[in-house]
Chain A
Amino acid sequence: METIAVIGGGPAGYVAAITAAQQGKEVILIDQAALGGTCLNKGCMPTKTLLQSAEVLGKIQHAEEFGVSVSSAEPVINWEKVQQRKNSIKDQLVSGIQYLMKKNQVTVISGNARFLTANTLRIDENSGSERFIDFESCIIAAGAEPAELPFAQFDGEWLLHSGQAMELKTIPKTLLIVGGGVIGCEFASIYSRFGTKVTMIEMADQLLPGEDTDIAAVLEERLRTDGVEVHTSASLKKLEAHTKTAIYEVDGQRVDMSPEKVLVSVGRKPRVTGLGLDDIGIVTEKARIQANEYMQTNLPHIFAAGDVTGGIQLAHVAFHEGKVAALNACGRNRKVNYKAAPRCIYTSPEIASVGLTQRQAEQQYGDVLTGEFSFGANGKALILNEPFGKVKVVIDPQYNEVLGISIVGPRATELIGQGTLMLHGELTVDVLEDFIAAHPTLSEAISEAIASTVGQAVHA
């Protein structure tokens, strides 16, 4: 039987392994750590667990507004329990992946893999022994790790990366977050609500530089309301661990501070070292593996998927790439399709978008039509006590195709599924004209925003 080796057991790797096994191949998966990769162990899942605890705290703090009086003076965070809950959810999910591997008869080896030849991997097992695996095809899904600043190395004590920032023994009093991207914003949302005084600095002139300014502005305002000090167009000058001093510059002013902890979230870099890529001639460019639309490297039998390719670093994109890579490794002919890949940011309020941002759409299509609907005018958002944010829809003026949807507001990450469906189906506004959204729901805001692109919103 043909053997397919998969390097990495994260979202791209384990999905690739299962897919290849379902195609009847013998699959060997190698990972140096726990299955599930960054997503399960150090990313999506643990942060969302922390966020949920913060959410519950927030609900209790605002219980009075719902007419619910809580007798004790103040809700108290039991940080140890918060961490335990996070870890037990993580363990449960990891064992879920282990079960899937067993069920699909994927051989899992714990260790480090390195290409010896273009058809052989050398594995240094965590147990200390070494072994060699011959393969017909290989899928590299080695993932990525937090990028470091050249002048300040992570020490795990004061200067932290996201993986370390979620494992803190206590809730810090003060936290400086360097980088206002997705990870920075999520951690700002988490810790500010646990009572930490958070300061954020971002080089660009807005948070979440990839999203539209008006969308990011809603989050920025809420973060400020929650006590976060947000500095955009700011530049970091110095991080000194032994004095715990941080210096940054904003509006020409030099600011010195001594935060208890510093989170550096300036992006994630693909793990391309130590795999022996150069030895067998796999081309990397800008420290990422180059893969074509079939997720194929320059060696036709070796594929790459997920963060290691440096593309869209999202778990569900990695699932898709892993599946595409595995199918192609099994002789199928599948192309990746990023058109309808949603982007979710788990802040408070949540932000979710799919397709083109207004800025991108204007670059591609020139003049576009937009439609907006504010959650302030949505009944369900009022009931939830979260009447903040909006839905924005961008359509092209010629065919009225839905090009992109951005949502900032309650349950945005769940709501975006509707937008994903529209993008995936290449729907046009006229097709959605008679679409019925249930009442009262947050989804009504989407239908209204769609209708307002052609000036037909009812409740706006």
Chain B
Amino acid sequence: MAINVIMPKLGMAMKEGTVSVWNKKVGDSVQKGELIASINSEKIEKEIESPGEGVLLEIAVEEGQGVPPGTPIAYIGQPNETIVKKEAREEAAASISAEPKRQNPEIKRQEKADSPATLPAAVEKVRISPVARKMAAQANLDIQNLTGTGPGGRITKEDVQKALETKSQISRQEPAVLTQYESPALTEQPSRPLSGMRKVIAERMHRSLLNTAQLTINMKADITELKTLQAQSAQSVQRRIGAKLTLTDFIARAVVLSLQEHPVMNSTLLENSIRESENVHLGMAVALENGLVVPVIKHAESLSLSQLSAAIRTVADRAREGKLSSEEMKGSTFTVTNLGAYGVEHFTPILNPPESGILGIGATEDQPVYKGEQLERRTILPLSLTFDHRIVDGAPAAAFLKTIKQYLEDPFAILV
């Protein structure tokens, strides 16, 4: 009987996976364990190994097409074999239902280890009726975004129906708007589907701008002394920990210390309640060739500067290699993003919901600065803080940014 190749479930939250490339054509023979395709989901790219030996009988999911995990994407068997798809579907269904069971104990343990106020636990629990859950899943509707009107805020069938109506109204309107601005030349250009990581980024960023009251304030920090400290200590640091402390490491540490002094900036807004997290789970945005990921350094407040530095290096490497698990990208309470390498000064980072703040780091520049009556050459670092005005007002946000500035300008405070 034909073996079916199934879209794997990469993490609990995965709703859809897209086949990015097929390495084989129908009729090609494949070995067990051979890499036959690569798929991408949200923020992960993964190679698919052939589950058995034989001939690729059928490709059920074409490149660029997204399907829910558990869906058969191809069939492998003997040449001229007929494919019994009904059974394949059942097996697939069984494998989906089996998956969460296996994962459950592990996740529970993780939740216990985290403080109860941390994000993953809060996000997982959505009160929703069984039929509403099914309807949302079939319509590919993110239940995290739905507002429940049932008892205790439970999401009901009616809520999903309403959301679907709104969605179809929006999608009905869209084509009209597009055709209005679409030039004939543009339609002839090749297009690529919005899928995988791009789709996730598109949805999250759009949702962030739609659902929050975010604004950005700017400040400049004089990091001349920090640079000096970094240069002077470089050799001994290299000797002791076998690596360099980067400017990012110092900034990350300054952010962690400042968050502990200003816990309101370390809070999340979920379902009409603001939660200040005691722990700092620091998201570090990492640019990739085809997108952007935000690995999370859990309990950053418990790490020393050198430990933090090592943690940042590790997650950044794993991100670039595409090895991050979805668990490693969840639950951040604050995010740092750095465009300094590209020469950007101030910018307006977009919040990573449900967080209340994100700090943008710009490019350092040496500038003449008056120190008393004297002009001095100083290294200036532009800082851009985006915050959610629903949670934090301007003054406390500015005070937080000022604390970061003070740490950066008095680098010994970072070390202590």
Contacts and interface: CB of A to CB of B under 8 A. Distances in A.
A341 B135 CA distance: 23
A426 B132 CA distance: 8
- Which of A398, A425, A427 has the most B CB atoms < 10 Å from its CB? A425
- Which of A398, A401, A427, A430 has the most B CB atoms < 10 Å from its CB? A401
19 contacts: A398-B138, A399-B131, A399-B134, A401-B130, A401-B134, A401-B157, A425-B129, A426-B130, A426-B131, A426-B132, A426-B156, A426-B157, A427-B129, A427-B130, A427-B131, A428-B130, A428-B131, A430-B130, A431-B130
Contacts of A401: 130-131, 134, 157
Nearest to A432: B130
Interface of A: 398-399, 401, 425-428, 430-431
Nearest to A401: B131
A426 to B, nearest CB: 3
A78 B158 CA distance: 53
A431 B156 CA distance: 16
Nearest to B129: A426
Contacts of A426: 129-132, 156-157
Contacts of B138: 398-399
B133 to A, nearest CB: 9
Given A426-B131, A431-B130, 4 more contacts: A399-B131, A399-B134, A399-B138, A426-B157
A382 B252 CA distance: 75
Contacts of A428: 130-131, 134
- Which of A401, A426, A427, A430 has the most B CB atoms < 10 Å from its CB? A426
B135 A399 contact: yes
A252 B138 CA distance: 55
Interface residues of B, number: 9
Contacts of B156: 426
Contacts of A427: 129-131
Interface in B17-60: none
Contacts, number: 25
Contacts of A431: 130
A399 B132 CA distance: 9
Q: Is chain A's binding surface mostly helix, strand, loop or mixed? A: loop
B102 to A, nearest CB: 19
B52 to A, nearest CB: 30
Nearest to B133: A428
Interface string B142-165: 000000000000001100000000
B60 to A, nearest CB: 22
Contacts of B134: 399, 401, 428
A425 B132 CA distance: 10
A399 B161 CA distance: 13
Contacts of B132: 426
A330 to B, nearest CB: 19
A425 B157 CA distance: 10
A346 to B, nearest CB: 29
Interface string B100-130: 0000000000000000000000000000011
Nearest to B128: A426
A430 B134 CA distance: 11
A89 B100 CA distance: 55
The 5 closest A-B CB pairs, nearest first, are A426-B129, A401-B131, A426-B131, A428-B130, A399-B134
A52 to B, nearest CB: 34
A428 B157 CA distance: 11
B225 to A, nearest CB: 58
A398 B164 CA distance: 16
A290 to B, nearest CB: 23
Contacts of B135: 399
A426 B151 CA distance: 12
Nearest to A428: B130
A159 B30 CA distance: 88
A428 B130 CA distance: 6
Contacts of B130: 401, 425-428, 430-431
Nearest to A425: B129
A27 B222 CA distance: 69
Nearest to B149: A335
Contacts of A398: 138
A205 B104 CA distance: 56
A223 to B, nearest CB: 37
Nearest to B151: A424
A369 to B, nearest CB: 14
A334 to B, nearest CB: 11
B347 to A, nearest CB: 42
A307 to B, nearest CB: 26
- Which of B130, B132, B138 has the most A CB atoms < 10 Å from its CB? B130
A431 B129 CA distance: 10
A230 B130 CA distance: 43
A430 B130 CA distance: 9
A426 B130 CA distance: 6
Nearest to B156: A426
Nearest to B157: A426
A293 to B, nearest CB: 12
Interface in B134-193: 134-135, 138, 156-157
A131 B218 CA distance: 70
Nearest to A399: B134
A422 to B, nearest CB: 10
B159 to A, nearest CB: 10
Contacts of A430: 130
Nearest to B155: A426
Nearest to A429: B130
Nearest to A426: B129
Nearest to B134: A399
